[in-house]
Amino acid sequence: TEACLAEIEDAGALNAFVHMTPEIAIDQARAADARIAAGEAPAMCGMPLGIKDLFCTREVPSQAASHILNGFRPEYESTVTQKLWDAGAVMLGKLNMDEFAMGSSNESSVYGNAVNPWRRDDDDAPLTPGGSSGGSAAAVAADMCLAATGTDTGGSIRQPAAFTGIVGLKPTYGRCSRWGVVAFASSLDQAGPMTKTVRDAAIMLGAMAGHDPKDSTSADLVVPDFEAAITGDIRGKKIGIPREYRMDGMPAEIEKLWADGAAMLRDAGAEIVDISLPHTKYALPAYYVIAPAEASSNLARYDGVRYGHRAKLAQGDGIVQMYEKTRAEGFGPEVQRRVMIGTYVLSAGFYDAYYNRARKVRTLIKRDFETVFAEGIDAILTPATPSAAFGLGEMAEADPVQMYLNDVFTVTVNLAGLPGIAVPAGLDAKGLPLGLQLIGRPWEEGDLLNTAEVLE
């Protein structure tokens, strides 16, 4: 814990941690020492972690990297973080992220962007760690903590993991409780581990997962021993390669990474099968209707009354002006854009044309996966991202759609509620990490982790 706290000080320029909790960390580390001395060592005992700012942590600033939650210190602890503390983990502090987890580069944060610890071989330009869990990814990649929590609504665990050369697991929807995690799009959001190895992800998921009566969408299932599922034996497993993920203009090095990954799994005894997921091309448009729709509804609670920031009012301003000024000052441009899109697609005249249509497309995407799983496919291999980490500022704010295209390989998993994992799989021509994604059957994270470990 002390070594991590020192490392965080040294790596301040990466802007990964936005709030430190050294007193809590030292107390928890001492308690972990005492548990170990007493012969009791739960799974995460003494493990120093960073926590994404989206998780509510008792008495500790929890702002979702937004100005509108300025000064918010929850009176309660999220179920997932409470489970980690119960399992002996240590909280070093809160991690940077895109505002309300909306973004793919960590550039929409009120704290300014986090920076990727990696650099291209041929230039020194700072790169994005990805987003929205960019601080989590940078902190794990730069050894500021042993692991971090992330959340994934459309790729926010897997894309930053791929950009920083670490492992990121988005569990099956309902595996981890969403209680106390600031809501973005409730039917898509899932918390998960961001770690250095696949085995660490298995151990940490075991501590985070489990039924929670406070989240009606959390599944009432026994949490299996994910670590025990990692046997190294994938003989006879059927791995699908979906042809619709072979995009026009896909860089040759991504193609090669994908082929090399398939070859590794084949060499380990798996069967590689060409499959079709025909509705893939509609996933991004459906996601960018459904996610903003749910966000516009979830973010209605930030009204200047209940939490955080309230605008200064002028003489004669009423409650409507208070709402308007507070939300105009409190939300950044990307969040305002999502609220506007969401409100539009839910409005009476457009509900059927956009929101209802997107929900139907979502069902078709889910069925595509059900069909291939029913045909015996155990996991699906795809690239995690269309490219390596890009330069900060490179995807101009002026063209948000460019940024949205980054999520092309990850959003299907959230729409279908499936588990997906990003595993580091090599370096591009400029020495930057690239990741592969494995998508698994619902509730079979153990199997998914076992296959992922072969790629490691």
User: Which of 228, 230, 241, 239 has the alpha carbon at shortest distance from 265?
Assistant: 239
- Residue 383, interface with ligand GLN (CB under 6 A)? no
- Please identify which residue in 46, 48, 93, 103 interacts with ligand GLN, judged by CB under 6 A: 103
Candidates 20-28, 96-104, 116-124, 195-203; binding stretch for ligand GLN (CB under 6 A): 96-104
- Please identify which residue in 117, 135, 155, 242 interacts with ligand GLN, judged by CB under 6 A: 155
- Residue 418, interface with ligand GLN (CB under 6 A)? no
| Structure tokens, 138 | 């940078």
Q: Amino acid identity, residue 4?
A: C
Nearer CB in complex with ligand GLN: 99/215: 99
Nearer CB in complex with ligand GLN: 46/174: 174
User: Which of 83, 94, 100, 99 has the alpha carbon at shortest distance from 44?
Assistant: 83
Distance CA 412, CA 394 (A): 25
Candidates 37-45, 97-105, 135-143, 265-273; binding stretch for ligand GLN (CB under 6 A): 97-105
Residue 370 is classified by DSSP as H
Catalytic residue among 105, 108, 133, 156: 156
Question: Tokens 């937004």 belong to which residue?
Answer: 66
Active site residue 296: no
289: part of which helix (H) or strand (E)? helix 283-298
399 contact partners, CB below 8 Å, separation of at least 6: none
- Please identify which residue in 53, 77, 107, 152 interacts with ligand GLN, judged by CB under 6 A: 152
Q: Strand pairing of 48-52 and 90-95?
A: parallel
- Residue 66, interface with ligand GLN (CB under 6 A)? no
Distance CA 200, CA 231 (A): 14
Least distance from ligand GLN to the Cβ atom of residue 336, Å: 14
- With 0-12 / 13-18 / 19 or more C-beta atoms within 10 angstroms meaning exposed / middle / buried, residue 238 is middle
- Residue 107, interface with ligand GLN (CB under 6 A)? no
- Please identify which residue in 407, 428, 444, 453 interacts with ligand GLN, judged by CB under 6 A: 407
Residue whose Cβ sits closest to ligand GLN: 156
Determine the angle formed by the axes of helices 252-267 and 445-455, rounding to 10 degrees: 110
For residues 406, 411, 413, 417, the Cα torsion angle rounded to the nearest 10 degrees is 150
Per-residue string for binding with ligand GLN, 283-312, x by CB under 6 A?
--------x---------------------
- Residue 102, interface with ligand GLN (CB under 6 A)? yes
Beta strands in 57-170 (DSSP E): 90-95, 147-152, 167-170
Number of residues that bind ligand GLN (CB under 6 A): 13
Catalytic residue among 132, 133, 177, 218: 132
Candidates 100-108, 120-128, 234-242, 369-377; binding stretch for ligand GLN (CB under 6 A): 100-108
Cα separation of the two ends of the chain:
26
| Structure tokens, 283 | 């996933």
Least distance from ligand GLN to the Cβ atom of residue 184, Å: 6
- Residue 153, interface with ligand GLN (CB under 6 A)? yes
For residues 165, 267, 444, 77, the Cα torsion angle rounded to the nearest 10 degrees is -20
Active site residue 105: no
Candidates 37-45, 117-125, 146-154, 354-362; binding stretch for ligand GLN (CB under 6 A): 146-154
Least distance from ligand GLN to the Cβ atom of residue 390, Å: 13
| Structure tokens, 149 | 């929590």
Active site residue 238: no
Catalytic residue ranges: 52, 132, 156
Q: Which residues bind ligand GLN (CB under 6 A)?
A: 101-104, 132, 152-156, 184, 291, 407
